[in-house]
A and B are shown apart, each in its own frame.
Chain A
Amino acid sequence: MGNKQTIFTAQQLDAYQDCTYFTRKEILRLFDRYRDLAPQLVPLDYTSHPDVKLPYELIGSMPELKDNPFRQRIAEVFSEDGEGNMTLDDFLDMFSVLSEMAPRDLKAFYAFKIYDFNDDDFLCKSDLEKTLNKLTRNELTEDEVRMVCEKVIDEADLDNDGRLSLEDFQQMIVRAPDFLR
Chain B
Amino acid sequence: MPPRRKNNAAVKVEDVGFEVDAIDSGSEDEARKRSKNRRAKPQRRAKQVSDDEEDEEDEDEAPRKRGRKKKAKPRDSDEDDEDEDKRSVKRKASKASRRRAAKDESDDESEEDREKRKRGGEATSKKGKEEQNKEKKGNGKRKEGKDKDGEKDKKKKNGRMNSSSSSSSESEEESLSEGEMAALKEEVEEKKKLIATLRNKPWRMKRRLVLLKEAQEFVEKFEGALGKGKGRKLYAYKVMMAKKLIKFKRDFENFKTACIPWERKIKDVESHFGSSVASYFIFLRWMYGLNLVLFGFMFGLVVLPEILMGLPYGSIPRKTVPREEQPTAMDYSVLFDFGGFCKYSFLFYGFYNNERTMGVLQFRLPLSYLLVGVGIFGYSLMVVIRTMARNANEGGDGAEEGDFTFSWKMFTSWDYLIGNPETADNKFASITTSFKESIVDEQENQKDENIHLRRFLRVLANVMILCCLGGSGYLIYFVVKRSQEFAEMKTENLSWLEKNEVEFVMSLLGLVCPPLFETIAELEDYHPRIALKWQLGRIFALFLGNLYTFLFALFDEVNAKLEREKSIKNDTEWLLNQYYSNYSSHFNTTDVPPPNADPADVVRGPCWETGVGIEFVKLIVSDMQVTYLTILIGDFLRAVIVRFLNYCWCWDLEAGFPSYGEFDISGNVLGLVFNQGMIWMGAFYAPGLVGLNVLRLLTSMYYQCWAVMSCNVPHERVFKASRSNNFYMGLLLLVLFLSLLPVVYTIMTLPPSFDCGPFSGQEKMYDVVMETIEQDLPAFIGNIFTYATNPGLIMPAVLLMLLALYYLNALSKGYQQANIDLKKKMQMARDEEKNRRNNKDSTNQVMKDLEDLLPNKSLMPPPTEDEPPPPGNVVVEKGSKSPKTKPGAAGKGVNLQKDVSLAAPNPRGPVTRAPGPRGGPHGNARGPQPGPGRGRGRGGPR
Contacts and interface: CB of A to CB of B under 8 A. Distances in A.
B428 A155 contact: no
A31 to B, nearest CB: 14
A11 B214 contact: yes
B121 interface: no
Contact of A158 (B275, B420, B439, B833): B833
Contact of B419 (A11, A67, A131): A67
Interface in B228-282: 250, 253-254, 257-258, 271, 275
B206 A67 contact: no
B44 interface: yes
Given A167-B78, A178-B413, A156 B213 contact: no
A51 B428 CA distance: 38
Interface stretch (B371-379, B395-403, B703-711): B395-403
B442 interface: yes
B79 interface: yes
A173 interface: yes
A80 B45 CA distance: 12
B435 interface: yes
B76 to A, nearest CB: 13
A13 to B, nearest CB: 10
A177 B724 CA distance: 10
A161 B830 CA distance: 12
Interface string A101-114: 00101100101000
A7 B275 CA distance: 33
Nearest to A164: B407
B419 A64 contact: yes
Given A68-B416, A151-B442, A177-B398, A132 B410 contact: yes
A21 to B, nearest CB: 8
A23 B258 contact: yes
B888 A154 contact: yes
B702 interface: no
Given A18-B200, A67-B420, A144-B439, A135 B410 contact: yes
B431 A64 contact: no
B210 A19 contact: yes
A136 to B, nearest CB: 4
B598 interface: no
A148 B435 contact: yes
Given A105-B151, A135-B413, A140 B405 contact: no
Contacts of A44: none
Nearest to B275: A180
Per DSSP, are chain A's interface residues mostly helix, strand or loop, or mixed? helix
B44 A167 contact: no
What band does the interface of chain A fall in when counting residues whose beta carbon is under 8 Å from B?
35 or more
Contact of A66 (B149, B203, B421, B432): B421
Contact of A140 (B78, B214, B257, B436): B436
Interface in A4-43: 11, 14-20, 23-26
Given A106-B203, A155-B403, A175-B400, A121 B410 contact: no
Nearest to B443: A147
A20 B213 CA distance: 12
Nearest to A12: B210
B431 A136 contact: yes
A117 interface: no
B200 A19 contact: yes
A72 interface: no
A93 B413 contact: no
A92 to B, nearest CB: 7
B206 A165 contact: no
A170 B723 CA distance: 20
Contacts of A92: 206
A85 to B, nearest CB: 13
B722 A178 contact: yes
Contacts of A160: 833-834, 836-838
A128 B419 contact: no
A180 B723 CA distance: 8
A155 B405 contact: yes
A58 interface: no
B202 interface: yes
A101 to B, nearest CB: 10
Contacts of B887: 154-155
Given A93-B205, A175-B398, A158 B407 contact: no
Interface string B535-577: 0000000000000000000000000000000000000000000
Contacts of A155: 403-407, 887
Contacts of B197: 18
A137 B398 contact: no
A181 to B, nearest CB: 4
A92 B79 CA distance: 28
Nearest to A77: B204
A18 B199 contact: yes
A151 B78 CA distance: 22
A132 B436 CA distance: 12
Interface string B403-437: 11111101111101111110110001001100110
Nearest to A102: B201
A117 to B, nearest CB: 13
A172 B151 contact: no
A166 B709 CA distance: 40
A175 to B, nearest CB: 5
B42 to A, nearest CB: 11
B418 A67 contact: yes
Interface in B171-209: 196-197, 199-203, 205-207, 209
Contact of A15 (B214, B400, B404, B432): B214
A128 B424 CA distance: 21
B404 A176 contact: yes
B408 A24 contact: no
Contact of A148 (B150, B399, B410, B830): B410
A80 B150 contact: no
Nearest to A68: B416
B3 interface: yes
A63 B419 contact: yes
B395 A152 contact: no
A179 B416 CA distance: 10
B393 to A, nearest CB: 14
A152 B830 contact: no
Contacts of A69: 414, 428
A70 interface: yes
Nearest to A109: B151
B152 interface: yes
Nearest to B197: A18
Nearest to A147: B439
A73 B63 CA distance: 31
B210 to A, nearest CB: 5
A68 B209 CA distance: 28
A169 B205 CA distance: 21
Contacts of A93: 205-207
Contacts of A83: none
B153 interface: yes
15 contacts: A89-B210, A106-B153, A109-B150, A128-B410, A140-B432, A140-B436, A148-B410, A154-B886, A160-B833, A166-B78, A166-B82, A166-B150, A173-B407, A173-B408, A175-B404
Given A80-B205, A105-B150, 19 more contacts: A20-B206, A24-B254, A26-B257, A66-B421, A103-B201, A111-B411, A121-B79, A136-B428, A136-B435, A140-B432, A140-B435, A147-B442, A155-B405, A155-B407, A158-B833, A160-B838, A172-B407, A179-B412, A180-B275
Interface of B: 3, 44-45, 78-79, 82, 149-153, 196-197, 199-203, 205-207, 209-210, 213-214, 217, 250, 253-254, 257-258, 271, 275, 395, 397-400, 403-408, 410-414, 416-421, 423-424, 428, 431-432, 435-436, 439, 442, 720, 722-723, 830, 833-834, 836-838, 886-888
Interface of A: 11, 14-20, 23-26, 49, 51, 63-64, 66-70, 80, 87, 89-90, 92-93, 96, 98, 103, 105-106, 109, 111, 115, 121-122, 128, 131-132, 135-137, 139-140, 144, 147-148, 151-152, 154-156, 158-161, 165-167, 169-170, 172-173, 175-181
